[in-house]
Each structure stands twice: as C-alpha cells, then as structure tokens.
Amino acid sequence: MKRFVFAFVLLVMYQKNASATSMPDSLQTLLNTAIADTTKANICKQLSEYYATFDFEKSIYFANEGLKISLKQKLSVKSAEFYKQLGVTYYLNGNHDIALNNYLNAVKLFEENLDKSGAANVYLELSVLLRKHNDLDLAVRYLLDAIDLFNSNSDLNGVANAYNNMGIIYETKSNLDSALLWYIKSKQLYETRPNATLGISYALCNMGGIYSMQKEYDKALAALTKSLELRLVLNDKFAICQSYTSLGECYSAKGDYPKAILNFKQSIDIAKEIHFRDILQYNYEQVANIYQQTGNYKDALEYYSLFQSMKDSLYTNAQLNQIEELKAKYENDKKEQKLVLANKENSLKDLELKRKNFYIALGFGLVVLISLVAFLLYNRYKIKKEAELFAARANQKEQTAKSVIDAEERERKRIAGDLHDGIGQMLSAAKMNLSALHEELHFDQEEQSTFFNRTQDIIDECCKEVRTLSHQMMPNVLLKNGLASAVREFVNKLGSARLKVNLHTHGLNERLEETIEIVLYRIIQECVNNVIKHSGANTLDIQIIKDEMEISVTIDDNGKGFNMAHQENFDGIGLKNIKTRVEYLNGKVNFDSTEGRGTHVYVEIPL
C-alpha cells in the first residue's frame, strides 16, 4: 500500500509562529519604520515564517531581505537561521536542489558558532530531503547526528522529532514493525513534554498509517481520528490536510471507497488553500485510482489529468498507457451509448457513425502529439534535474570533507592545549618540587645524588618533548604569522648535520585563507616526516611559490626513493592523508620517485 507521510520537523515553526505573527500588516509597518538593522532582521524572520505555508514568494522575499542584513552586519547565527528558513520554504515548494544548498550553508554557520540546537534541526531537515530522494543511509546518519546533539542539549522535543523521522525512513524501507516502534517511542516521549499536542498528533497519524498497511483497520481509524481531533483544536491546516489524506488511504485500503473519496477531497480543498503541492498531487492520483477501480472512467480521467498537470507535464510511459487506457474505455462507453441511440433513430445512423469516427481519429492524433511532446519535455527535465542533483551531492561531499578536516584540526588544537596546559604544567610542578626537595635532602652517598640529578634531567627532557609535540600539533606561529613563518620554524628545528634542509618561499607576503594555510602546513609536515623516517636522505629542498592563480609546493630529497610500480607503496596512511587534503582544496598532487634517486613531490592548489 502506497502511503503519504510528512515529517513533523518541517511544520513545528509554523505552529509556533501562527499566533505570534497574526498581524502581518503591523509587522510590515514596523519594518518600514525600523532603524536598527537587527530589528529589521528579526521582523523579516517573523514575516518569512508567517508566509511560509501559503505564500512562498513573500516568504522567500523576506528571508532574502533578512539574510542580506545579517550578512552585512556579520550576524552569523541569524544568517544561519535565514538559510534554514529558505531551505524549508524551497523544500515545501518542490525546489529541492535550492533547498539543499541553503541547508548546507545553514549547518556550516551553526557549527562554526557551536550552536548545537541550530545544527541539529538542520540535520533533521537534511534527513527529510535525502529520504525524499531515497538516499536513506545518509538520511539515517544525519538523524543519528541530530539525536546526539539534541541529547547533549537536553532537548527532548528534538529527540522526539528525530524518532518520528526515523520511523518514516524505516517505513520507506518497508520495515513496518521497526517503523511502528519508532513512532511509539516518539509518541511516548512527546507525552512527557508540555505543549506537545502537535507532535503527539504526528506520531498517532503515522502509527495509524502503519496499522492500516497491516490491515488492522479498527486500530488505524482510532489513531487517525484521534490525530485529526488534536489537529482541529490546534487549527494546523498542514497537519489537518495530512490527516484527511491518511484517513482516505485507510478507507481505500479497507474498501470503503465513498468515505475514502470524501476524505481525499477534504484534503484537496485544504491543500489548494495552503498551496501544499506534494500532497495535492498525491490526492489527485489516489482519487483517480479509486474512480478507475470502480469503473467511473470519466472522473478517473479528470483526476489523472489534474495529477499530471500538477507534476508539470512529467509523464512516464506507464502513466501515458494508463491515460490511453482510460480514454479508450471512455470512448467505448460513448460508442455504446451512440449505438443505442442509432438503433432508435435509424435516420441519423450514418451521421452519428461518421461523427464518432472523426472524434476517435482526432482524439488519437491529439494523444500521439501530446505523448510525444510530454516525452521530450520529460527527458529534458530529467537530464536537468540529474545534473542539478549531482552538483548538489558533489557540494555536499565537499562540505563533508571540510567538516572532517575541520574536526581533525579542532582535535589537534585540543590535544595540543591539553599537552601544554595539562601534562606540561604537571611536569613543571614536579620539577619544582624535586628542586625544592634537593635543597632539603643531604645524600650520604654520591650514587644517590647522581641518581637524583639524573631523575631531574629526565623530567627536563619530558618537558621539552611535551612542548615540542604541542607546537608540532598546532604551532602558534602558523596562527599568528602565517604559512611561511610556520614552515621556516618547523624546518629550523629539523636542521642537523645528518639532514640539510633548504627552504625557498616566494609571493607569501600576504596571509592566505586559514584553511589553506593549515592544510598546506600539514601536507609539508607529513612529507618531511616521511623523508626523515623512510628516505635516508641528507638533503631536503622545499619550495613554496604563490602567484595570482595558485600556490605550489615542491619537496625534493636525495634519499633512497621507492618503486612506484608497487601499489603497496601508496597504501600508507601518510600518502592517503596527503591526497585527501589536496582533493579537499580542489588541487592536485604528483609523486615521482625512483629507487636510489630520491623522491619528488609536487602539490598545486588553485586560489
């Protein structure tokens, strides 16, 4: 049984703001007279949320106006909220590619500002969009991330929302038992929260859908009716619209077609009012199917036409065949009626037959023409959408890679800080205590004094090692003075009689973007460490050259090299890390090595 489910998370903010923004004209007046940019941004957000469910153009307009103000004033969190608002509005209007781009912008800003609640809610929105496009594994991953963030923020309403969405994913996978368990968990958690009536209604509605698919119609109708009652009290038209659709599905599955059509049509009336395109298209299709099953081909054809129109002329071969079949059956019905009239009116028999043949030929010609045009439009639209979705996924992959590298750098900073401020300070304290103890102790034997001094020397060496390791993990000079100074300091610490290091830089008078500097520093650090560990070289040349278009790094050593024909030489973690970091910056890296003649590494990053 096909069923329409709609995620609760997309509708929460409209329920909250419907009463708060019941006077859009007053808000518009305040917006026109407001002076402070922050006030204007807040009013734009309220207006965008108010119009989101019934006037997409106004919602998008006010969201974009608020976003302009927030970006100009560098209000990162407020900008993230507007990106999220745009994502939700475009999703509801069917523009999923634009919605995805706005979601990714939003989550990036929320994470940069350590806003767990904002990031978690965007993860929920992303899971809904990905489920719509059948990328279920990634949708589950985003949901689990959202649940972790909600739990860390003690946001149980958010956790309940995520449970509901998880149930929808399992229902999409046709795992009805698991889906039902998630819906029940969502309902139970909502029931512990204040003002959670809407959330309970969504859990009940989805539970009713599962019961209906399991043919437990009494349970299904009880849950769906209770859900509708709650939504009518709240006057949430989005939710009410879905309730009527769910009841229509249940009655249709039960075989009570008159009640099914009645509920579907009630949903259609509300969907038209609030411009709910997804469910309107779905309802048209379900009503058409019922009319077809009951032999009412004329009304079936009418609703299939409405369904196809709502899909913006996206005809599939199966749907075209279905329309052809309905037209043929409808024409046959008319033919039979005309034959009866012809038997009663012999004088008009020839004329009626000619007219019938003319209509059949004309209808067939129109069907062929419409089918051809629809097929061409469908192919064109499909190619365009596939390209847009590919671009969106590529962008999402890039954002994911950036998040991984950013997380790695944050972890390096944390560990470096812990080493320096934690272990380093404890070792320093131990050294001071030993020094104080030395002044009070009087050793009877020289061996005792020697052993004590050796212990102090070991602690001194540990302090130096901790300081060196801390600086290598996150050198302060990189953050303060940039790439050239950081690499030079790193190289100076390496210089020895065994390995001579030559460093040449050009064009690095100005600072680069922080991400590029960190990634290039890690690449150089990894390459140099490989030379020290594996090459046996005594000379190492490093060149860093920047121009207007790109920055390049060349690293040459005169070590023993390696055989590039052997794949195992490229399977190490070090070389994989280098390739991953370069790919993240959309650059390229080349390795050139011969046994006995050293290794050459070339990295090129576009600016």
Distances in Å between the Cα of 498 and the Cα atoms of 524, 537, 559 are 20, 8, 12
How many beta carbons lie within 10 A of that of residue 3, not counting itself? 17
Q: In this predicted structure, what is the pLDDT of residue 224?
A: 94
Instruction: For the chain, give the mean pLDDT.
Output: 81
- Is it the case that residue 326 has pLDDT exceeding 60? no
Q: Which of 325, 332, 320 is nearest to 370 (CA)?
A: 320
Q: How confident is the model at residue 97 (pLDDT cuts 50, 70, 90)?
A: confident
- DSSP H or E stretch at residue 503: strand 500-506
Q: Do 29 and 13 touch, CB atoms closer than 8 A?
A: no
Q: Do 199 and 163 touch, CB atoms closer than 8 A?
A: no
Q: In this predicted structure, what is the pLDDT of residue 100?
A: 87
Extract the tokens encoding 54. Answer: 């019934």
CA–CA separation, 237 and 246 (whole Å): 14
- Is it the case that residue 327 has pLDDT exceeding 50? no
pLDDT tens by residue, 404-460: 667 766 776 677 666 656 676 677 667 777 776 766 777 777 777 787 778 877 887
The helix, strand and coil proportions of the chain, stated in percent and rounded to the nearest 5, come to 75, 5, 20
Q: What is the mean pLDDT of residues 39-56?
A: 83
- The residue with greater pLDDT, 329 or 511, is 511
Q: In this predicted structure, what is the pLDDT of residue 419?
A: 66
Q: Any idea which of 113-122, 278-287, 427-436 has the lowest mean pLDDT?
A: 427-436
Q: What is the mean pLDDT of residues 333-362?
A: 67
- Is it the case that residue 47 has pLDDT exceeding 90? no
Q: Which of 496, 501, 547, 558 is nearest to 525 (CA)?
A: 501
- Is it the case that residue 402 has pLDDT exceeding 80? no
